[in-house]
Amino acid sequence: MNHLPASRRNFLALGGASAAGFAMVEDAISAERIPGNTVADRSSSIRITGYKAWWVNPVLYVRIDTNHGVSGWGEIKGTDIRVAITLLASLAELFTGENPTRIEHIWQKLYRAHRDIRGGPFMVHVIAGIDIALWDLAGKLWGVPVYRLLGGPVRDRIRVYHTPKAQKVPPHGIYEHSGTPADIQRMVRAVAAAREKVGPDGAVMFDAHCAVPPATLIQFAAAIQPYDVLFIEEPAVPGNIEVFKRLKAAINVPLATGERDRTIWGMIPYLQERCIDVLQPDCCHTGGISQMRKIAALAETFFVPLAPHCTASNLGISASIHAIAATPLFLIHEFYPTNFGFNPKGIATMEWQVDKEGYVALPTGIGLGVEMDEQIIAEAAKKPQTYKWPGATLKDGSVADY
């Protein structure tokens, strides 16, 4: 049979079982040549052998190890670490033994593993840490910065805040269900001071932090129009799109949100309803670099730029910066590398230089480009770690949003 040319004439010349057998052999040979049929990377011997995690307030640092001696680092934040530790151990049953370069496959496997508990902040924050570690690992395997694996950089530098040219004003407290003239004036004065500080060519943002009631926010927004605010962040509590639509209809200042929304499925309502102008996903909240890239593409179709939220250590900052380096539609990036509340000193080391215009250069080095000091991490993790549910109340003792 091997000497017969695979022609229609020869095929018809073969009868009965012989013809069927020839077809099966031909199909088998063809199947071997289809790239999609080798998707399991059977030719590659690299596999995830396990992980190690360290709790250092307020972060759970995760190192994913392989049988080739290459490891990747990620961080889990913005959640109760006591829960994250247990959930990470459970999810490890799904990623141990996998090829670490199959990042999207692993993401889908973790997210969709259980039909009744997929999604939600606890799971997605833990998946984010795993995903970040896998991208770091992949960059190290190929010897390139992560953004090279994302299609390459689309810009030479990243605009960040806080800098002398970009300032974000906080809400200065938690307000009752309606604000007073004193409340509004206090916020307006803070915005005016920030504008004076950055000058006419700088950026001023206001973070409502979901703490300013809608009616008060409408009044406040009218009062700050002369100061050309770049955006009002978190104008309302996520979960009720009708409130965002009402605010968008009444406010002429651009609105931004997204730090408490997760994955493409959490972001799409804002875009479909056209009720925000800037999207603010957090790489460590929304499922890691993999989801940041999908959210960016989704927002681009609506011509909505990204201004990522980022209250992380250098590891999380770098992951977000790598994603944004390869994202076309981008506005400005939150940036706190010297805040030791977010970024414990000496653990995740990376040099950042902010130029006079308020930009940082693209990360250098392979993977995420962050040096992790395991000795300092281990010593810091030996100290008692605590978690306290923050909570917030109004003057009358009722529970508040913030």
* pTM (2 d.p.): 0.89
Task: For the domain made up of 48-148, give the CATH fold.
Answer: Enolase-like; domain 1 (3.30.390)
**Domain range summary for the chain, segments of one domain joined by +:** 48-148, 153-366
- Which of these, 270, 271, 218, lies nearest to 247 by C-alpha position? 218
The answer for residues whose C-beta is within 8 angstroms of residue 209's C-beta and 6 or more apart is: 170, 171, 233, 234, 402
The b/e string for 149-169 (b: 16+ C-beta within 10 A; e otherwise) is bbeebeeeebbbbbbebbbbb
pLDDT in tens, 62-99: 999 999 999 999 999 999 999 999 999 999 999 999 99
Q: In sequence order, what E strands does 219-264 have?
A: 231-233, 255-257
* Residues in the chain where the model's pLDDT stays below 70: 1-43
> What is the 8-class DSSP label of residue 330?
B
The CATH H-level (homologous superfamily) assignment of domain 153-366 is Enolase-like C-terminal domain (3.20.20.120)
Identical topology for domains 48-148 and 153-366:
no
Q: What is the pLDDT of residue 5?
A: 44
Distances (CA, A) of 386 to 58, 165, 351: 9, 36, 29
C-alpha to C-alpha distance for 325 and 148, rounded to whole angstroms: 9
Pair of tokens at residue 349: 């080391």
Taking residue 219's Cβ as centre, other Cβ atoms within 10 Å add up to 18
Q: What is the pLDDT of residue 42?
A: 63
Q: What is the pLDDT of residue 178?
A: 87
> What is the 8-class DSSP label of residue 362?
P
Pair of tokens at residue 326: 């390869």
- Which of these, 140, 123, 137, lies nearest to 76 by C-alpha position? 123
Decide if 334 contacts 132 (C-beta within 8 A). no
In the chain, the amino acid numbered 276 is I
Q: What is the dihedral of CA 274, 280, 283, 288, to 10 degrees?
A: 0
